[in-house]
Amino acid sequence: MDKRRFLKIAGAASAGTLLAPSLTFCTTEPKPKVETEIENTPFSPIIQAPLPYGYAALEPFIDAETMEIHYSKHHAGYTRKLNEALEMETAFQGKTVEGIFAELRDEEGHVVLRNNGGGYYNHNLYWQCMTPGSSGAPNGEIAEAINAAFGSYANFKDQFSEAAKTRFGSGWAWLSKDKVGGLFISSTPNQDNPLMSNLAEQPGMPLLGIDVWEHAYYLKHQNKRADYISAFFEVINWETVAARFAGV
Ligand code: MN
């Protein structure tokens, strides 16, 4: 684990227990060791997955400045806020993020976990779904499954792109696997995803996701979301999609 990130997350995790109302920001206050704080925390802090390539690796399709802000600000922010929320939500502590998604309902008390849990998970998947060494198209079993579900790769590309283009406002478009192993395309608002089975119109296991929030493309493509979607297809990591389809 990256040492700086570990320290940062450890600090966020311990903040709630340290900031008692009477505590002043006294610099002589003895500080417990970070490692001890982690061990004493009643839940395991959620860690932002490392970016599997450099910020500039997806140029010219996804620009370095967008990548850096997206990963180090937006995704880091969702991760930090998820940890802060979990510190208060004792009922959800110790669960996997997928386990949390399965319990979320459309109620006020779940909004923070819904938004930041989704933001945390969706971006982890998004980074893994891209690579500078894209094969350009799926191969093997995932290619056969796409052909079976959509008729052809070209049809899949059209339908997935349409779902991404027509998601009003901020959200995501997905290729997912249903309970019996079939593929479907859907989109979700905000940071929702198909694992939120009480919230998604079509629940399932997401295999591929494209972020269509403006922060994902506005610096390079401005309002032209369709150009960004075309660029995304140039960097899809079909090996990740195939592994998720196979349940690896
Ligand atoms: Mn995003």
Residue boundaries of the structural domains of the chain: 64-248
Dihedral angle computed from the Cα positions of residues 166, 167, 169 and 170, in that order, rounded to the nearest 10 degrees? -140
Task: Tell me, in angstroms, the distance from the centre of ligand 1 to residue 216's CA.
Answer: 6
pLDDT for 40:
46
Report how far ligand 1's centroid is from the alpha carbon of 214 (Å): 8
Gap from CA of 176 to ligand 1 centroid (Å): 19
Q: Rounded mean pLDDT of 15-42? A: 39
With 0.85 as the threshold, say if the pTM is over it: no
Percentage of residues in the chain having pLDDT higher than 70 = 82
Task: Return the higher-pLDDT residue of 140 and 36.
Answer: 140
- The pLDDT of residue 94 is 86
Q: What's the 164 CA to ligand 1 centre distance in angstroms?
A: 14
At 21 the pLDDT is 32
Q: Which residue has the higher pLDDT, 92 or 18?
A: 92
The CATH T-level fold of domain 64-248 is: minor pseudopilin epsh fold (3.55.40)
pLDDT > 80? residue 23: no
Q: Residue 235's pLDDT is what?
A: 98
Q: Is the dihedral of CA 3, 9, 11, 13 positive or negative?
A: negative
Q: Please provide the DSSP assignment of the chain as one string.
A: --HHHHHHHHHHHHHHHH--TT----TTSPPPPHHHHHHHSSSPPP-PPPPSS-TTTTTTTS-HHHHHHIIIIIIHHHHHHHHHHHHH-GGGTTS-HHHHHHH--SSGGGHHHHHHHHHHHHHHHHHHTB-TT--SS--HHHHHHHHHHHSSHHHHHHHHHHHHHHS-SSEEEEEEE-TTS-EEEEEEETT--TT-TTT-SS--EEEEEEE-SGGGTHHHHTT-HHHHHHHHHTSB-HHHHHHHHTT-
Spell out the residues 6+ positions from residue 171 whose beta carbon is closer than 8 angstroms to its own.
Answer: 187, 188, 189, 190, 192, 212, 213
Ligand 1 midpoint to CA 215 (Å): 6
What are the tens digits of pLDDT across the range 98-121?
999 999 999 999 999 999 999 999
C-beta of residue 194 within 8 angstroms of C-beta of residue 202: yes
> Taking 60 as the threshold, does the pLDDT of residue 25 lie above it?
no
Average pLDDT, the chain: 86
How many angstroms separate the alpha carbon of residue 33 from the centre of ligand 1?
34
Neighbours of ion ligand 1 (CB under 5 A): 74, 211, 213
pLDDT attached to residue 93: 87
Instruction: For residue range 148-157, list pLDDT tens digits in order.
Output: 999 999 999 9
Q: Tell me, what's the pLDDT at 43? A: 62
22 pLDDT band, cuts 50/70/90, is: very low
C-alpha of residue 193 to centroid of ligand 1, in Å: 13
Q: Which of 91, 94, 103, 101 shows the shortest CA–CA distance to 121?
A: 101
Q: What is the pLDDT of residues 37-71, one digit of tens each?
A: 444 445 668 899 999 999 999 999 999 999 999 99
